[in-house]
Structure 1
Amino acid sequence: MMNTVTDRRAVARQRTPLNRSQIAGFWGAWAGWTLDGMDSFIYALVLTPALTELLPRSGFAATPSNVGLAGSILFALFLVGWGLSFIWGPLADRFGRTKVLAATIFTFAIFTGLAATSTNVWQLGIYRFIAGVGIGGEWALAGTYVAEAWPEDRRKMGAGYLQTGYYAGFFLAAALNYTVGVHFGWRAMFLTGAVPVVVAILILLRVKEPEKWQKADAKTVRAKPLREILGPAYRRRTWVACILLTIAIIGLWAGAVYEPSAVIQLATRAGMSKGDSIRTASLATGLLSIGTILGCLALPPLAERIGRKMTLAVYFVGMAVSIAASFGWAFYLPNGLAPFIAWLFVLGFFGGNFALFSLWLPEQFETRVRATAFAFCTSFGRFVGAGVNFLLGAAVLHMQTLGVPVALTALVFVLGLFVIPFAPETRGETLPQ
């Protein structure tokens, strides 16, 4: 037994060291993904105050139902922008990972900052749509970069580390809302989203392209990656990945979009003031973010032990149970604020399922098509998610309640359990060249 423990420690010490470019590239990708998450969640946090101000200026009454419907429509537009972010994948396969990664960060940062200047809901919708195009591309390119740039014996944990950035961004957004948002309003929150421009510049100046991409010859790089991932060799795994990612994205409505609104409603019902309700929502978001970060870190070792497919099944079951318990049960309790927030931590942990895709998708595709495949699968899920969001917004408006419609999204994770067996198991395999 002692020899086994000693051997494991020796293997851990013998991990391939990271060079300066790999370290700088990871932190650039992580920072971009963190600020991406911050940008995405800023909208959820400021949704109510922003629309309360902008709807009357656009000719609509700022009633709770109108705020909910307009919020769903604007988020659907944001998801359509996410879906159109597919354009970044072929560009990255053709021109390189770091240049295009910097372009995605620059795009979402500039248009998030411009959202602070909105004078009506139409302007806000346009700015969020274009910001979505940038935000949607960042994950595919950051995940592809880390998978290709890091050594084989470290890239799997690198995927888990990378994914923590998005939820660290949630935590950062919650902290800003607790301080900046409460005192200076929603416009100041959007202005903070322009900060990632600095990260984009640093990535362009300091980070080298991964060797795997550099070694691809010019003929291969100029191939038609979209045609290839939809061809006979990759068709099945492409569509299975699209379905699984769609299911994971639909889970964002419970863990990101509607969570702050639900907490504010519960806090108000408990007799808290408007300011205290917003602070409570920020604290709840911070707790959810901590849970998700822990879920991301726990996922790679679990995926190495029991496999990619079984790990995703465990996380999907956790998502189904926690969504149903939080929005379907705790939300309707007479004193439901505390149990709802407690379930948010569990929901956050299993929301770390996205880390598996950062680890798993690059293992399923070769270098010449990897960024395109990653971007296509994530974009497909976002387009479907936009349609689902319209249905969810209509359900909230029709039922005049938030809990039940969101709780019903737990059913898609049950459906996902029947799709997972059709995906390839890549545990123990090296990243294909």
Structure 2
Amino acid sequence: MSSLTDRTSAARRRTPLNRSQIAGFWGAWAGWTLDGMDSFIYALVLTPALTELLPRSGYAATPANVGLAGSILFALFLVGWGLSFIWGPLADRFGRTKVLAGTIFTFAIFTGLAATSHNVWELAIYRFIAGVGIGGEWALAGTYVAEAWPEDRRKMGAGYLQTGYYAGFFLAAALNYTIGVHFGWRAMFLTGAVPVVVAILVLLRVKESEKWQKAEERTVRAKPLREILGPTYRRRTWVACILLTIAIVGLWAGAVYEPSAVIQLATKAGMTKNDAIRTASLATGLLSIATILGCLALPPLAERIGRKKTLAIYFVGMAVAIAGSFGWAFYLPNGLAPFIAWLFVLGFFGGNFALFSLWLPEQFETRVRATAFAFCTSFGRFIGAGVNFLLGAAVLHMHTLGVPVALTALAFVAGLFVIPFAPETKGEVLPQ
């Protein structure tokens, strides 16, 4: 009884956050939310945008061409995400907040410009550069919150931060349900320019983390990339890269094709085009809410049973949910309701990304932390780009999206054999 009382009183005595830490968190969270919104806008407007732009580019807007072009453009977007590695060394050299603002500014401007596209080539260029900006936001936001928040609060801070990305999915679905249906895909891309305001606020209102300032004062200028690939960090760097690659492949296979799958199932059920689009938006909203719940449930679980066991549970959940939704429910005669029900499970275990926001900063020292975070996430995005291209080709060849997406469940099964090679950091403080 006394130990329970001690834990309760310790929870009540958590270190209070100062104004800069609160402002910094909300700036990072808002950037990550709008980042998620921006990423998912493309999945929601893919079909109408390419239906209009393909004929202007000399190609017929057949379902097969729309699917193939969509996969190629998304692969380019993920390559841009991969190239976002450049932000990590910049943040280790010049500070977290300035470079974080730069990432938000980049993806906002080029998402807005996508609304002006006259053909698929222009859209591809704008989405590629937006991807470079979007890809850097997670690494810098996660690094900043880990360093700026007190040790007794940063674990939940990682969970809170990760909810932003999926709140962005929900926001994109809400915008598509209202603006997208009535004003079209160009208006949707224009809403993606809003984060410019957040970038300015981050730059003006948020102070650098004390950990980075202290590390900067005592650090002889080193080469962080060489260090994270050197003997000290090599193993944990590559293990983290593999685990993040699996998470990214699963997330994008499920999330990117989810609206298309729902639209197909809704149309099959006899809904009109607009009703099918609205149903896809509602399904995306459900997926987002479930993922937010998964993000919030993860940090307490990771503190209780450890990082590695928690990731294993979430990976098993992802494998089962992907197979159940795309491999089974998608092919039922009346599969719309079962598919949407499975999306809730898929969303909850998609919260596995919150673990990386918590776990990656614990594995690297301050002087190389942003570089390591950016490198590990970027590596996964390059592989994810290739897998996405193969998925598009498989969908085109098999004339169905269910089976190809369902096969990505195997990546999570493989991930269970990689997790034991990662370091367990439960109970350890953030390295200086």
What corresponds to 1:260 in structure 2?
259
Aligned-pair CA distance for 1:9: 1.7
What corresponds to 1:275 in structure 2?
274
Aligned-pair CA distance for 1:216: 1.2
Any idea what the Cα deviations from partners look like across 1:218-261, whole Å, max 9, x if unmatched?
Answer: 46262100000000000000000000000000012333110000
Provide TM-score, normalisation by structure 1.
Answer: 0.99
Aligned-pair CA distance for 1:217: 3.7
Query: Aligned to 1:221, what secondary structure does the other structure show?
Result: coil
Aligned-pair CA distance for 1:3: 2.6
Query: Aligned to 1:299, what secondary structure does the other structure show?
Result: helix
Query: Aligned to 2:219, what secondary structure does the other structure show?
Result: helix
Query: Aligned to 1:251, what secondary structure does the other structure show?
Result: helix
Contact 1:171–1:285 (Cα < 8 Å) also in 2: yes
Contact 1:327–1:404 (Cα < 8 Å) also in 2: yes
Aligned-pair CA distance for 1:399: 0.3
Alpha-carbon distance in 2 for matches of 1:401, 1:300? 37
Alpha-carbon distance in 1 for matches of 2:312, 2:215? 35
Structure 1 spans left out of the alignment, 5+ residues: none
Aligned-pair CA distance for 1:8: 1.8
Contact 1:104–1:135 (Cα < 8 Å) also in 2: yes
Contact 2:254–2:405 (Cα < 8 Å) also in 1: no
Aligned-pair CA distance for 1:183: 0.3
Alpha-carbon distance in 2 for matches of 1:95, 1:270? 55
Alpha-carbon distance in 2 for matches of 1:4, 1:199? 43
Aligned-pair CA distance for 1:13: 1.0
Contact 1:94–1:221 (Cα < 8 Å) also in 2: no
Contact 1:221–1:368 (Cα < 8 Å) also in 2: no
Q: 1:328 to 1:396 in 2, by over 3 A?
A: same
Q: 1:326 to 1:221 in 2, by over 3 A?
A: farther
Any idea what the Cα deviations from partners look like across 1:303-339, whole Å, max 9, x if unmatched?
Answer: 0011000000000000000000000000000000000
Alpha-carbon distance in 2 for matches of 1:17, 1:290? 28
Query: Aligned to 1:418, what secondary structure does the other structure show?
Result: coil
Aligned-pair CA distance for 1:262: 0.4
Aligned-pair CA distance for 1:85: 0.1
Q: 1:53 to 1:195 in 2, by over 3 A?
A: same
Provide TM-score, normalisation by structure 2.
Answer: 0.99
Any idea what the Cα deviations from partners look like across 1:95-130, whole Å, max 9, x if unmatched?
Answer: 000000000000000000000000100000000000
Alpha-carbon distance in 1 for matches of 2:320, 2:130? 32
Percent identity reads 92
User: Which one is further off, 384-393 or 135-144?
Assistant: 384-393
Alpha-carbon distance in 1 for matches of 2:220, 2:30? 28
Q: Tell me the matched-pair count.
A: 432
Contact 2:113–2:126 (Cα < 8 Å) also in 1: yes
Aligned-pair CA distance for 1:198: 0.2
Contact 2:136–2:374 (Cα < 8 Å) also in 1: yes
Any idea what the Cα deviations from partners look like across 1:26-61, whole Å, max 9, x if unmatched?
Answer: 000000000000000000000000001001111111
Contact 2:91–2:370 (Cα < 8 Å) also in 1: yes
Any idea what the Cα deviations from partners look like across 1:56-110, whole Å, max 9, x if unmatched?
Answer: 1111111111111000000000000000000000000000000000000000000
Query: Aligned to 2:129, what secondary structure does the other structure show?
Result: helix
Contact 1:255–1:348 (Cα < 8 Å) also in 2: no
User: Mapping of 1:206-355 within 5 angstroms?
Assistant: 206-218=205-217, 220=219, 222-355=221-354
Alpha-carbon distance in 2 for matches of 1:237, 1:292? 26
Alpha-carbon distance in 1 for matches of 2:120, 2:65? 12
Aligned-pair CA distance for 1:376: 0.2
Alpha-carbon distance in 1 for matches of 2:106, 2:273? 33
What corresponds to 2:423 in structure 1?
424
Alpha-carbon distance in 1 for matches of 2:252, 2:156? 27
Contact 1:288–1:344 (Cα < 8 Å) also in 2: yes
Query: Aligned to 1:431, what secondary structure does the other structure show?
Result: coil
Alpha-carbon distance in 2 for matches of 1:4, 1:432? 28
What corresponds to 2:184 in structure 1?
185
Alpha-carbon distance in 2 for matches of 1:240, 1:64? 39
Query: Aligned to 1:62, what secondary structure does the other structure show?
Result: coil
Alpha-carbon distance in 1 for matches of 2:15, 2:194? 33
Aligned-pair CA distance for 1:284: 0.1
Alpha-carbon distance in 2 for matches of 1:19, 1:342? 41
Structure 2 spans left out of the alignment, 5+ residues: none
Alpha-carbon distance in 1 for matches of 2:84, 2:306? 30
Any idea what the Cα deviations from partners look like across 1:274-325, whole Å, max 9, x if unmatched?
Answer: 0000000000000000000000000000000110000000000000000000
Alpha-carbon distance in 1 for matches of 2:343, 2:134? 24
Alpha-carbon distance in 2 for matches of 1:222, 1:80? 29
Contact 2:159–2:358 (Cα < 8 Å) also in 1: yes
User: Which one is further off, 385-394 or 199-208?
Assistant: 385-394
Query: Aligned to 2:150, what secondary structure does the other structure show?
Result: coil
Any idea what the Cα deviations from partners look like across 1:392-431, whole Å, max 9, x if unmatched?
Answer: 1110000010100000000000000000000000000000
Aligned-pair CA distance for 1:389: 1.1
Contact 1:253–1:406 (Cα < 8 Å) also in 2: no
Query: Aligned to 1:208, what secondary structure does the other structure show?
Result: coil
Contact 2:253–2:388 (Cα < 8 Å) also in 1: no
Aligned-pair CA distance for 1:4: 3.0
Contact 1:255–1:351 (Cα < 8 Å) also in 2: no
Contact 2:216–2:367 (Cα < 8 Å) also in 1: no
Q: 1:323 to 1:116 in 2, by over 3 A?
A: same
Contact 1:101–1:141 (Cα < 8 Å) also in 2: yes
Contact 1:51–1:62 (Cα < 8 Å) also in 2: yes
Contact 1:299–1:356 (Cα < 8 Å) also in 2: yes
Structure 1 stretches of 4+ with a deviation exceeding 3 A read none
1:128 aligns with 2:130: no
Any idea what the Cα deviations from partners look like across 1:118-157, whole Å, max 9, x if unmatched?
Answer: 0100000000000000000000000000000000000000
